[in-house]
Amino acid sequence: MRVFTAVLINNFRRLEKHKTRLIMFFVLTIGAVAAAVFFNARSDIAGHIAVVSENDIGNPYGRYLNVTPLEKMPPMSELAAGKYDAAVIFDGQGGYEIQTIKNDDFRQMLDAIIKNPDFFDAGEIGSRENGTNILGFLMMFVLMQGISMTFMFAEDKDKKQIRRIAASPVSFSWYLFAHSLFAYLFLLVPTMAIISAARLFGVNIGFGMLEFFALAAILSALGTSFALFLVAMIKTGDSANMVGSAVVVLTSVLAGSFYSFDKGNKILETIIKVLPQKAFLSMAELVEQGKSISNWYHYGLYIAALTLFFFVAAVVKARKSF
């Protein structure tokens, strides 16, 4: 326990030289919340589509769609990057083809809007509610910052300080747990501070503060254990940061941090189902809808199991190496 306290206090002292990291985390978190609030405010807009047509059809779908007229089909990379949610190619004879990487539900909704925009029910858009939307935007940034906030453990590795610690008569598990708690606090506390401030300014966060705190605590724990796992497994801190950031961005986007990729591709759908981010968003959505714990506890257990696995694997790897 003495080792745990000493490492934790020492980390806070070392933090004075790394103020930029804290400022960056606050900026990214504020940006994520602001983006979530902005996009959620336009929940009546189903998407942004590119329209390819020989004739100028205008925008008869303006209530539900942002339309960009193009002379030719945009590359699929622009759909994947989120520049367009779909491309609609008209053949000049009243027919059209929809190209999108989104799921079948979105394709059917888009088809319904195009066929009869005047009688389309806006309730069919089915966008996520405020709280899950905000968490979806925050999720990727929190997980990425988790990797960044384990930099002191990475520093100890890179500068060989960890070899002296391992050779001394101290508990290696307590040493790693102290680094974990330090990173965890600097993920959870700033996030909750910004969310609390947003709520004071009248932003609808979709959850009660206790519910949001519990979900943010789960997300922060997952981010911390995954970050510790990467730093323990990968030789240098910079490499762990690069690999981790790439993995987090890719898996968070696939899991539906901004929009859904599932349905329509069985292999991709299977991969998405095992992502912890997907489980987290599914759990958050059910909590926000007021569902009982029996509907979503299995998602929480899955995330807790992965969190424990990453931490234990990090401890075992670090002990074996040093």
Q: At what angle are helices 2-14 and 172-200 packed, to 10 degrees?
A: 50
**Residue finishing a domain among 79, 97, 125:** 125
Quickly count: other Cβ atoms within 10 Å of residue 215's Cβ.
Answer: 22
| 98 lies in the same domain as 188 | no
- 136: tokens are 């979806």
Number of domains making up the chain: 2
| 96 lies in the same domain as 178 | no
> Rounded distance, CA 115 to CA 121, Å?
13
| 49 lies in the same domain as 154 | no
Strand locations in 91-239, DSSP E? 96-99
Reference 28, options 179, 163, 138; nearest CA is: 138
Q: Say if CB 159 and CB 319 are below 8 A apart.
A: no
Find where tokens 């509907």 sit.
Answer: 295
pLDDT value, residue 248: 92
| 79 lies in the same domain as 159 | no
| 121 lies in the same domain as 133 | no
pLDDT value, residue 41: 52
| 62 lies in the same domain as 156 | no
State the residue range of the domain holding 273. 2-40+128-321
Q: Say if CB 190 and CB 28 are below 8 A apart.
A: no
Q: What is the pTM for the complete model shown?
A: 0.74
SS (H, E, C) 224-267: HHHHHHHHHHCCCHHHHHHHHHHHHHHHHHHHCCCCCCCCCCHH
DSSP 258: S
| 120 lies in the same domain as 155 | no
| 61 lies in the same domain as 164 | no
- 131: tokens are 């709280």
| 119 lies in the same domain as 164 | no
Reference 153, options 131, 176, 185; nearest CA is: 176
pLDDT value, residue 222: 96
Q: What is the pLDDT along the chain (322 residues), one digit of tens a residue?
A: 677 788 888 888 887 777 787 787 778 777 777 776 666 655 556 678 888 887 766 666 666 777 888 888 888 888 877 788 888 888 877 788 888 887 777 788 888 888 877 666 555 555 566 788 888 888 888 898 888 888 888 888 887 777 777 677 667 778 888 889 998 998 898 889 888 888 888 877 888 899 999 999 999 999 999 999 999 898 887 888 899 989 999 898 888 776 655 555 677 778 888 999 999 999 998 998 888 888 899 999 999 999 999 999 998 988 887 6
**Residue finishing a domain among 79, 107, 125:** 125
pLDDT value, residue 62: 62
Q: Say if CB 61 and CB 226 are below 8 A apart.
A: no
| 314 lies in the same domain as 250 | yes
| 121 lies in the same domain as 132 | no
Find where tokens 């899991």 sit.
Answer: 255
Angle at 30 between CA 300 and CA 44, to 5 degrees: 75
- 90: tokens are 């008209």
**Residue finishing a domain among 125, 141, 166:** 125
| 194 lies in the same domain as 246 | yes
Instruction: Give the pairing type, strands 96-99 and 65-70.
Output: unpaired
Find where tokens 């569902």 sit.
Answer: 291
